[in-house]
Amino acid sequence: MTRRFDVIVAGAGGMGTAAAAHLARRGASVLALDRFPPGHARGSSHGQTRLIRLAYFEHPDYVPLLLRARASWRDLERETAATLLTECGLLSAGPAAGPLLAGTLRSARDHGLEVERLSGGEATDRWPAFRIPDPWDAVFEPAAGHLAVEACVRAHAEVAVRHGGVIEPEHDVRGWRVEGDAVLVETSRETVAGSRLVLCPGPWAAGLLRLPAIRFTVLRKSLYWYAPADSLTAADATALPTYAFDTPRGFFYGFPLLDGRGLKLAEHTGGREVADPFAVDRAIDPEEQAAIEGWSAEHLPGVSLTRTAHEVCLYTMSPDHHFVVGLHPEHPQVALAAGFSGHGFKFASAIGEVLADLALTGTTPLPVGFLAPTRPALQRGTAIEHAG
- Identified catalytic residue from 17, 25, 49, 364: 49
Assess whether 49 carries a catalytic annotation: yes
Q: Which fold has domain 72-147+217-317?
A: D-Amino Acid Oxidase; Chain A, domain 2 (3.30.9)
Task: Name the nearest CA neighbour of 18 among 354, 323, 343.
Answer: 354
Given this model, what pLDDT does residue 110 score?
98
| pLDDT of 386 higher than 80 | no
User: What's the pLDDT band for 350 if we cut at 50, 70, 90?
Assistant: very high
pTM across the whole model: 0.96
Domain ranges of the chain: 4-46+150-213+320-378, 72-147+217-317
CA–CA distances in Å: residue 216 to residues 169, 207, 347, 380: 25, 10, 20, 10
Provide the CA 111 distance to its chain's centre, in angstroms. 22
Of 387 and 148, the structure prediction assigns the larger pLDDT to 148
Assess whether 50 carries a catalytic annotation: yes
User: What's the pLDDT band for 388 if we cut at 50, 70, 90?
Assistant: very low
| pLDDT of 384 higher than 90 | no
Assess whether 104 carries a catalytic annotation: no
| pLDDT of 377 higher than 80 | yes
Q: What pairs with residue 183 in β-bridges?
A: 178, 194
User: What's the pLDDT band for 380 if we cut at 50, 70, 90?
Assistant: low
- Identified catalytic residue from 35, 346, 364, 375: 346
Task: Name the nearest CA neighbour of 360 among 40, 113, 51, 27.
Answer: 27
Query: What sign has the CA pseudo-torsion 148, 152, 153, 155?
Result: positive
Assess whether 264 carries a catalytic annotation: yes
DSSP 3-state assignment of 380?
coil
User: What's the pLDDT band for 51 if we cut at 50, 70, 90?
Assistant: very high
Given this model, what pLDDT does residue 387 score?
32
Q: How far apart are CA 174 and CA 210, in angstroms?
A: 12
Between 3.40.50.920, 3.50.50.60, 3.30.300.30, 3.40.50.2300, what CATH number should domain 4-46+150-213+320-378 receive? Answer: 3.50.50.60
Cα angle for residues 347, 348, 354 (degrees, 5° grid): 90
pLDDT tens digits, 109-159? 999 999 999 999 999 999 999 999 989 999 999 999 999 999 999 999 999
Q: What's the mean pLDDT in 183-206? A: 97
pLDDT tens digits, 234-289? 999 999 999 999 999 999 999 999 999 999 999 999 999 999 999 999 999 999 99
- Identified catalytic residue from 42, 68, 264, 321: 264
pLDDT tens digits, 302-334? 999 999 999 999 999 999 999 999 999 999 999
CA–CA distances in Å: residue 287 to residues 267, 283, 353: 12, 12, 40
- Identified catalytic residue from 22, 25, 35, 50: 50
| pLDDT of 225 higher than 60 | yes
- Identified catalytic residue from 187, 313, 321, 375: 313
Assess whether 26 carries a catalytic annotation: no
Q: What's the mean pLDDT in 338-359? A: 98
- Identified catalytic residue from 42, 53, 268, 343: 268
Given this model, what pLDDT does residue 203 score?
97
DSSP 3-state assignment of 87?
strand
DSSP string, 6-17: EEEEE--SHHHH
Assess whether 221 carries a catalytic annotation: no
Looking at this protein, which amino acid is placed at residue 202?
G
User: What's the pLDDT band for 379 if we cut at 50, 70, 90?
Assistant: confident
Are 89 and 141 in contact by the 8 Å Cβ rule? The answer is yes
Assess whether 46 carries a catalytic annotation: yes
Q: What's the mean pLDDT in 64-93? A: 98
- Identified catalytic residue from 22, 46, 307, 328: 46
Count of Cβ atoms closer than 10 Å to residue 301 Cβ: 14
Burial per residue of 176-207, b for 16 or more beta-carbon CB atoms within 10 angstroms, e otherwise: beeeeebbbbebeeeebbbbbbbbbbbbbbbe
| Mean pLDDT score of the chain | 96
